[in-house]
Structure 1
């Protein structure tokens, strides 16, 4: 039994199940198109989620195989299944290939989804073997990957995306990417470029500037999204701006753990483990659902509360 549990843990670490939380972005178009309770659309989105997650597994494994030597001397990555020797490169490759085929099969009936997931796959192959060593472009590729997640969620249910949503997704992804690079610089110090060549092209000062710019862009693009007249007309409410404080708190909390706690190396784990970020995301999500799907109830409650204060 212990052996089985150990193998399952090794498999979970190999296929990066914790990273799948990033793929929940595929549900954003479902929610913001007012189709959350549309069962067929929900099923399509769930299938797209697993398709994207399974294809991503192969990317993670290919990257781990390529970087196995440098990961073996990394203080954190050395604990991964491949550099630690818990699994062979051959077995890992075939596991990744299995998940890739499974992921592709889930998108085979939707040509647009298939195209997007293949673009993501080949873009990340290019990243693994070349673009991860090109300064700034390496982070842009990561950010584009998040945009492709949102785009796949939209084409899975055949709805249009707001440009402001894409811009907000891209800009917040830049924060996570630059924050991750900064964490690596702080963690590895003088040995940074030896572990990851691109780190020699960055400095904490330039990354701080990039994080600041990206944070401002995220705040502005999200605020403009909530105040877009076309979307207000579509949603039937102008109250989405009330979710802005949760977004700002989440951003500030992330900056806090990057600068004060020297974290940020694994944004998906920070989302799960940092209580401040987790609470902000949950409250934001609850507010979004209430405002989009039960806005009349929210408006009535607000009026009632306002009258009570006046009285």
Structure 2
């Protein structure tokens, strides 16, 4: 017993050191120092959404040239910087409210790992530098879209997330901007079917997520997202069902439209890809109907069947673009 404190002494030390106990309880969320905290605040798991920047070039069959890959990598990084700027400013603005939340209190800004002024400063710097670099390295159109994205998302953080229906529109538009910016960067014309399918596909996932939140939180919805108390589950179900139907219709119309290009492939891959696309929507709708459709990337990654359907669709789509 010579190397440690006796039980009574340990209890006394704990009573005299409440700050030490508090710091120890927060040791998990505070790992990594300031830089680690800034990185966590930038939400690396959300960066997978920015892969949508390749959607338009992939649809046009212009994805694998060196010029396209270089430019799209740059656009991905710039869009990620803009999204990180929004997260930093949002967390700095909501720091006090987050400290009272059972989960959000572990966010680096709310936990004190990243000081509020630092979060504001880094967020503002990223928000200014990303569009400026886009104007210099890519094109003024890309810079304008990034600026519009920042303005819309910051308005969402301040007030629009409390406005019924508009909150769904803003989040959906954010996904659509990700899909559009790749086409702008490479000067690719965007078809009406691409915009309809992408926009309503995004609305389907966003409204399914809101529906799931409303179902899971039930009578306690206002504790996490106050606006959920103003939505009914019936209305949100109607929105995701409507959006799914329009997305499927838009995709099928695109697949059935030959566009004047003669078919020379082994099989009509573009038409066959409708099957995989519809199956993916139906499979995702299972989770939406159960109220378990959270973050879209989590739904896809945790469900092996949905991931396989998505891979099958991607293969068919690639074969259609290559006209193989």
Moved more, 162-171 or 41-50: 41-50
Query: Structure 2: where are the runs of 5+ without partners?
Result: 1-27
Measured in 2, the distance between the counterparts of 1:125 and 1:25 equals 21
- For residues 115 and 280 of structure 1, what CA distance do their matches in structure 2 show? 36
Name the SS of the counterpart of 1:35 in structure 2: coil
The question of whether the paired residues in 1 share the 8 Å contact of 2:38 and 2:119 is answered with no
- The residue number in structure 2 matching 1:81 is 108
Task: Choose the corresponding residue for 2:277, options 233, 240, 247.
Answer: 247
2:226 aligned to 197, 217, 221, which one? 197
User: Counterpart of 2:258?
Assistant: 229
Query: Which residue of the partner structure matches residue 309 of structure 1?
Result: none
User: Deviation digits for residues 4-53 of structure 1, max 9, x if unmatched?
Assistant: 97346544321111111111111011112221222112211221111111
Counterparts of 1:31 and 1:216 in 2: how far apart (Å)? 23
Q: Aligned runs of 1:1-311 on 2, under 5 Å? A: 6-7=32-33, 10-109=37-136, 110-230=139-259, 233=261, 238-260=268-290, 262-293=291-322, 295-296=323-324
Shift of 1:76: 4.2
Contact between 2:203 and 2:243, CA under 8 Å: does it hold in 1?
A: yes
**Is the alpha carbon distance of 1:107 and 1:192 closer, same or farther for their aligned partners in structure 2, counting shifts above 3 Å?**
same
Deviations 1:198-237 (A, max 9, x none): 112101111111111111111111111112232x628866
Give the superposition deviation at 1:190.
2.0
2: CA distance, partners of 1:192 / 1:36:
43
- 110-119 vs 13-22, which moves further: 13-22
- Mean CA deviation greater in 31-40 or 263-272: 263-272
The 1-side partners of 2:239 and 2:203 are apart by 8
In the superposition, relative to structure 1, how do residues 62 and 244 fare at CA in structure 2: closer, same or farther (>3 Å)? same
Instruction: Compute the TM-score of the two structures, normalised by the length of structure 1.
Output: 0.85
Mean alpha-carbon deviation: is it higher for 4-13 or for 172-181? Answer: 4-13
Deviations 1:138-194 (A, max 9, x none): 101111112212221111000100111111111111112111212222333222124
How well do the aligned residues superpose, as a CA RMSD in angstroms? 2.5
Report the Cα distance in structure 2 between the residues aligned to 1:259 and 1:29, rounded to whole angstroms: 30
Give 1 or 2: higher helix fraction: 1
The farther-off stretch of 31-40 and 69-78 is 69-78
Q: Summarize deviations over 1:83-120 as a string: whole Å, max 9, x none.
A: 34432222222332343344224312210000011011
Q: Residue 261 of structure 2 aligns to a residue in which SS? A: helix
Deviation at 1:123, TM superposition (A): 1.0
Where in structure 1 are there 5+ consecutive unaligned residues? 297-311
Stretch of structure 1 that moved more, 168-177 or 278-287: 278-287
